[in-house]
Structure 1
């Protein structure tokens, strides 16, 4: 019996999985804890997905009813794409491609449907993921920053403070004290 693995057809691999695995391999020799967190994320992408709770920023129920907004299929594809890609860069041009629109039309339609710009939405989703990681793991803030697609910990701290009103460390301590 052969021990070689057969390749998985690309259409069945969730978006971003190969990037996660490359990142984990790169970190394995330097930071096993961060590599482990990334591998946990990759494993979750491969497991059957239970019904998901509503996102922190719910998509409009009837996006087609909003004049000039995105269609329902575009909203669904974009929210899935953003969630899968939070660990890396998410450019406006890329998001517009997912929605199959020009960048200008996409930017207007996105704001019409979500009430905020695409960049603001991505940053809010990054901070929501960071909060989950801060509550569910013991990972250092520098690793959480990288797992959430931030350039580094100082960038993460500046954005977190601007959106949440406190530093990530202060927020984490406060949350742990109230759950304690």
Structure 2
């Protein structure tokens, strides 16, 4: 087990606090047996903290679902080009209402077929993925701006601060205010 004194060591990169590292290690340990993919995400985030080429803020965001380009599509799933175009569309339109019909159109599929194929490929429904992306954007804005939570909610396509707080607590496990205070620099 890591000792607190080890985590206070001066070899930690700037912007990496001992509590941040402790939380990420604890998350990796919790998920090691039950969810090895999530454990790998935590380890990748820890590695990102020490990387000179990756933004350390990226390590504290909720995990993005891995989509590997060039991998053969799962049977009944989306092709890599469809996944890429859908993700681009979501990123471009995140602050707006994003309809499943529009995503299906981008992938050139019917809505029903698109939803089934998306779940096979990504592992969650289009709606759950969209919410995850909105929460990741909210986390980024909370770390990089001084905007209040109401403004951040609107910038992420959510109706208001209460909506952001409800979704954020469900996905991240704590309120946006508590999370922001614990991860924000000085």
Q: TM-score, normalization: structure 1?
A: 0.66
Report the counterpart of residue 35 of structure 1 in structure 2. Answer: none
CA contact (8 A) 1:63 1:69 kept: no
User: What runs of 5+ residues in structure 2 fail to find an aligned partner?
Assistant: 1-53
User: What runs of 5+ residues in structure 1 fail to find an aligned partner?
Assistant: 1-51
Q: TM-score, normalization: structure 2?
A: 0.64
How many residue pairs were aligned?
A: 127
In structure 1, C-alpha distance between the alignment counterparts of 2:168 and 2:72, rounded to whole Å:
33
- Aligned with 1:89 (options 92, 97, 103): 97
- Aligned with 2:116 (options 108, 122, 128): 108
Post-superposition offset of 1:63: 5.3
CA contact (8 A) 1:78 1:99 kept: yes
- Aligned with 1:72 (options 58, 72, 80): 80
In structure 2, C-alpha distance between the alignment counterparts of 1:106 and 1:146, rounded to whole Å:
27
List 4+ stretches of structure 1 deviating above 6 A. 52-55
CA contact (8 A) 2:73 2:80 kept: no
CA contact (8 A) 2:85 2:107 kept: yes
Post-superposition offset of 1:59: 1.6
In structure 1, C-alpha distance between the alignment counterparts of 2:69 and 2:92, rounded to whole Å:
21
